């Protein structure tokens, strides 16, 4: 009877890959909705608009327009609330990503322990049986290749939706296990003033240094079609809105 030592299972210790939090802030008009649905969304149309002369001369990136809005209590309160919402949401996303990463690494370590044990059995069997290379040929290379293939299949997930001009600039794939992406949509009527200023102010908040911040103004360059306002007024008059009230009423 051969003195073959018992197979030992070894656990390989892995360091979890760093998680990269990415915050994408969108400003946009009320319609159409964002093609890539945001995780958090805010309607800013209840915030008072800057005066018409200011809106005509500036968009939401303007320092003057943003100063006006910062003076609005509703705007300031909304900024604080959304900032806290983002911090809470990103914390949950990062915690979930770290937990998933730990579970995946633990599973990979168990598979590698089994593979290493099988490799040692094959080597000892080859030395004892001398001529029969079938067990001895089961080296680590073949099994490692199979494990790598399984990991690749788990990581190759399709993106939620194909990119469209609506989301120009957002090229991140949610299937990347090292990235945690939080998308925040902020809309106003046309996506030129309040939502743009709000996103610009949000981007300058004191976010954690490891976060990557991206700003996308989807509708900033879209102009109102000629005559749209006049057509709207005509429709309102035709529906009885704004019509003069006659005597006796």
Q: Residues 44-66: what's their mean pLDDT?
A: 96
What is the structure's pLDDT at 18? 86
Domain membership flag for residue 230: yes
Domain membership flag for residue 196: yes
What is the structure's pLDDT at 102? 75
What is the structure's pLDDT at 101? 80
Please enumerate in sequence order all residues whose Cβ is within 8 A of that of 34, keeping only pairs 6 or more positions apart, or say none: 26, 28, 41, 166, 167, 183, 185, 218
Domain membership flag for residue 72: yes
**What does pLDDT average to over the chain?**
74
135 pLDDT higher than 60: no
Q: Which residue range(s) make up the domain with 233?
A: 20-158+168-238
What is the structure's pLDDT at 3? 65
Q: Which of 94-108, 140-154, 220-234 has the highest mean pLDDT?
A: 94-108
Distance of alpha carbon 146 from alpha carbon 124, whole angstroms: 23
Structure tokens, 102: 């730990």
Domain membership flag for residue 223: yes
Domain membership flag for residue 13: no
242 pLDDT higher than 60: no
What is the structure's pLDDT at 82? 98
What is the structure's pLDDT at 152? 35
What is the structure's pLDDT at 93? 96
Domain membership flag for residue 180: yes
Distance of alpha carbon 130 from alpha carbon 121, whole angstroms: 14
Summarised one tens digit per residue, pLDDT across range 164-204 is: 445 556 667 666 778 999 999 999 999 999 999 999 999 99
CA 42, 47, 50, 52 torsion-angle sign: positive
Q: Residues 119-134: what's their mean pLDDT?
A: 49
Write down the pTM of the prediction.
0.62
Label residue 161 by pLDDT band (50, 70, 90): very low
Q: Provide the domain count of the chain.
A: 1
The better pLDDT of the pair 17, 182 is held by 182
Reported as type and span, the H/E element at residue 201 is helix 194-203
């Amino acid at each position: 009877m051969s003195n073959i030592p018992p197979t030992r299972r070894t656990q390989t210790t892995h360091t979890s890959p760093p998680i990269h939090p990415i915050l994408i802030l969108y400003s946009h008009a009320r319609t159409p909705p964002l093609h890539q649905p945001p995780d958090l969304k805010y309607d800013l149309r209840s915030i008072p608009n800057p005066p018409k002369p200011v809106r005509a001369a500036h968009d939401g990136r303007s320092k003057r327009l943003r100063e006006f809005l910062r003076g609005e209590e509703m705007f300031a309160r909304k900024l604080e609330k959304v900032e806290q919402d983002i911090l809470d949401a990103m914390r949950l996303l990062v915690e979930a990503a770290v937990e998933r990463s730990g579970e995946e690494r633990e599973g990979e370590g168990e598979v590698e322990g089994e593979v290493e044990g099988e490799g040692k059995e094959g080597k000892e069997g080859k030395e004892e049986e001398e001529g029969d290379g079938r067990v001895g040929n089961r080296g680590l290379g073949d099994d490692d290749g199979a494990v790598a293939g399984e990991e690749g299949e788990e990581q190759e997930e399709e993106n939620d939706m194909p990119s469209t001009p609506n989301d120009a600039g957002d090229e991140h794939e949610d299937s990347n296990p090292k990235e945690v992406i939080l998308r925040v949509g902020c809309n106003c009527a046309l996506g030129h003033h309040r939502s743009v200023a709000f996103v610009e102010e949000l981007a300058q908040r004191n976010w954690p240094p490891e976060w990557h911040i991206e700003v996308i103004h989807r509708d900033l360059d879209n102009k109102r079609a000629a005559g749209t306002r006049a057509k709207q007024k005509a429709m309102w008059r035709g529906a009885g809105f704004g019509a003069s009230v006659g005597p006796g009423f």
